[in-house]
């Protein structure tokens, strides 16, 4: 127990700690942070634990999540752990910044994600999916690595939509760069937990640093090019170039802009690509669900090529994608650090406490989801959604820090699924589905090779 004696009726300041060995947690974090989650968080609303002398609150109760991430959002910051793991690549861009610096960046780019703006981007999304489909149709041996293919497709989309083409940024090197950067993040989280000094070496550090240097240099050249030859395109690069802080009048330096381009490129393609790869894997193992998707695509498109008007009508396909993200949320854990003492439910959480919202566990929680491990897109029928607490499902987070690209991602994913499934059928090669491993995002533990037949 931590804290002092309890006054009746006052918020609780003592916490029922679940014992967790610091060493076991550290080893699990390095291997796969999902394994460091206390197992009781899949059945209990909240779990308190102390590792390396620091209290952590794991929250799976939707009402508590609402209190923390929505109602009291200003009482929390992203914390040192996040900045330590992601700061070297993303600096103080939108995902990693806090307070006023976060707010003006969010306001500066919000216009680019309004519904009307996204509708304009739909044809670009469909065209990218068609390029992938054509590449597949011409593929030699009839197999594809679906994770890699989805990374290429969503990367193509993010570069086209956010940077108007990207001026020859090398997709394969960027994908490898992002993987090299993410691979050792288990170490950065574990060392952060121990408050180890920043210079401590760990496996993969050199490669991760080289990757960041390459990625940031590639983006800097995009900005330099745009500063040299300005234009009036309505893309993210120009939004960032023309942003100014309403309070201070400050504009963004090249480093600020690189921080944000890095943020949007990494957060904006890898997550959607992983979710799509998991979706294809799930569909291939459930032919009756795949059949319903194919029937819907056929009914909506009437055999015509998928176009922008079809996408919003693919209701069941969207349910399938939502259910895939329930089982495999691309961002499986989000964390915050309390900036001040804050009351959450009946507890008074002291400043400095690390709050962990294990989206992966919320989405498989025994009290929120009947038969939680089963893949069942009917859970996302509109009538079924109404019966659940709002934050029982939160692949995009919640509150003011909710994913800015959430509608973009769903629109793009449904478009890609429709364009590809209309023409090809994917079948799994491996007898067992891949296991999810967290490397900031939720990745499969093995390449997802699938065989491909034309429809």
CB-wise, 258 or 452, nearer to ligand HEM?
A: 258
- The contact pattern for ligand HEM, residues 420-449, with x = CB under 6 A and - = no contact, is ------------------------------
183's CB contacts (< 8 A; 6+ apart) are 204, 207, 208, 439
- Examine residue 166 and tell whether it contacts ligand HEM (CB under 6 A): no
Residue 397 as a binder of ligand HEM (CB under 6 A): the answer is yes
The distance of closest approach from Cβ of residue 23 to ligand HEM in the complex, given in angstroms and rounded to an integer, is: 27
Contacts of 207 (CB under 8 A, 6+ apart): 180, 183
- Which residue of 189, 347, 369, 408 would you call a contact of ligand HEM, by CB under 6 A? 408
Site string for ligand HEM, 276-315 (x = CB under 6 A): ----------------------------------------
Considering the rule CB under 6 A, would residue 95 count as an interface residue with ligand HEM? yes
Span near ligand HEM by CB under 6 A; candidates 10-18, 19-27, 46-54, 392-400: 392-400
Lookup result for tokens 């291939």: 284
In whole angstroms, what is the distance from residue 164 CA to residue 341 CA?
45
State the Cα–Cα distance between residues 454 and 128, nearest whole angstrom: 19
Nearest approach, Cβ of residue 59 and ligand HEM (Å): 13
Using the rule CB under 6 A, is 267 a contact of ligand HEM? yes
d(CA 82, CA 19): 24
Q: Which is nearer to ligand HEM, 294 or 404 (CB)?
A: 404
94 makes contact with ligand HEM (CB under 6 A):
yes
Q: Which of 91, 405, 434, 436 binds ligand HEM (CB under 6 A)?
A: 405
Residue 194: which residues within 8 A CB-CB, separation 6 or more? 26, 52
Of residues 133 and 401, the one with the C-beta less far from ligand HEM: 401
Which residue has 């566990």 as its token pair?
361
Tell whether residue 223 is a contact of ligand HEM (CB under 6 A).
no
Whichever of 330 and 358 has its CB closer to ligand HEM, that residue is 330
Q: Is 88 in the site for ligand HEM (CB under 6 A)?
A: no
Task: Indicate whether 48 belongs to the interface with ligand HEM (CB under 6 A).
Answer: no
Q: Tell me how far, at minimum, the Cβ of 155 lies from ligand HEM, in Å.
A: 11
Compose the 316-335 pattern: x for residues touching ligand HEM by CB under 6 A, - for all others: --------------xx--x-
* 264 lies in the binding site for ligand HEM (CB under 6 A): yes
Residue among 65 and 452 whose Cβ is closer to ligand HEM: 65
**Which one of residues 164, 218, 272, 279 is an interface residue with ligand HEM (CB under 6 A)?**
272
State yes or no: residue 59 binds ligand HEM (CB under 6 A): no
How many amino acids of this chain bind ligand HEM (CB under 6 A)? 22
**What's the CA gap between 372 and 354, in Å, rounded?**
27
C-beta nearest to ligand HEM: residue: 405
Contact 189, 36 (CB under 8 A): no
- Cα distances from 109 to residues 222, 230, 243, in angstroms, run 18, 18, 8
* Selected binder of ligand HEM within 106, 148, 425, 439 (CB under 6 A): 106
Q: Is 121 in the site for ligand HEM (CB under 6 A)?
A: no
Least Å distance, CB 336 to ligand HEM, is 7
Residues that bind ligand HEM (CB under 6 A): 94-95, 106, 263-264, 267-268, 271-272, 275, 330-331, 334, 395-397, 401, 403-405, 408-409
């Amino acid at each position: 127990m931590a804290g002092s004696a309890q006054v009746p009726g006052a918020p609780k300041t003592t916490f029922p700690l679940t014992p967790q060995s610091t060493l076991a947690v550290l080893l699990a974090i390095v291997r796969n942070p999902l394994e460091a989650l206390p197992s009781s968080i899949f059945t209990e609303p909240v779990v308190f634990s102390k590792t390396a002398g620091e209290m952590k609150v794991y929250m799976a109760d939707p009402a508590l999540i609402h209190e923390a991430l929505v109602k009291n959002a200003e009482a929390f910051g992203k914390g040192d752990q996040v900045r330590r793991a992601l700061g070297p690549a993303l600096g103080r861009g939108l995902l990693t910044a806090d307070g006023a610096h976060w707010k003006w960046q969010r306001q500066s780019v919000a216009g680019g994600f309004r519904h009307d703006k996204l509708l304009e981007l739909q044809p670009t999304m469909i065209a990218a999916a068609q390029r992938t489909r054509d590449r597949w149709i011409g593929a030699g041996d009839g197999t594809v690595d679906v994770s890699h293919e989805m990374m290429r497709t969503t990367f193509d989309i993010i570069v086209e939509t956010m940077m108007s083409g990207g001026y020859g940024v090398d997709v394969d090197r960027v994908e490898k760069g992002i993987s090299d950067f993410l691979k050792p993040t288990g170490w950065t989280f574990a060392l952060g937990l121990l408050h180890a000094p920043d210079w401590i070496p760990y496996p993969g550090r050199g490669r991760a640093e080289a990757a960041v240097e390459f990625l940031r240099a590639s983006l800097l050249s995009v900005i330099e090019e745009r500063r040299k030859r300005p234009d009036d395109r309505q893309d993210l690069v120009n939004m960032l170039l023309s942003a100014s802080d309403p309070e201070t009048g400050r504009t963004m330096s090249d480093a600020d802009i690189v921080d944000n381009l890095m943020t949007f490129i990494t957060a904006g393609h890898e997550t959607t690509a992983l979710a799509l790869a998991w979706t294809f894997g799930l569909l291939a193992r459930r032919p009756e669900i795949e059949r319903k998707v194919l029937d819907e695509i056929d009914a909506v498109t009437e055999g015509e090529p998928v176009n922008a008007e079809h996408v919003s009508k693919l209701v069941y396909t969207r349910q399938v994608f939502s259910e895939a993200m329930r089982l495999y949320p691309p961002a499986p854990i989000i964390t915050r650090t309390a900036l001040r003492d804050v009351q959450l439910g009946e507890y008074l959480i002291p400043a400095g406490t690390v709050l962990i919202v294990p989206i992966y566990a919320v989405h498989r929680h025994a009290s929120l989801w009947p038969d939680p491990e089963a893949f069942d897109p009917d859970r996302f029928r509109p009538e079924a959604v109404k019966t659940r607490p709002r934050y029982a499902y939160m692949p995009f987070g919640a509150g003011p820090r909710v994913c800015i690209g959430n509608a973009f991602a769903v629109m793009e994913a449904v478009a890609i699924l429709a364009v590809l499934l209309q023409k090809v059928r994917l079948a799994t090669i491996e007898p067992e589905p891949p296991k999810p491993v967290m490397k900031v995002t939720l990745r499969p533990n093995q390449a997802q090779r699938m065989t491909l037949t034309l429809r």
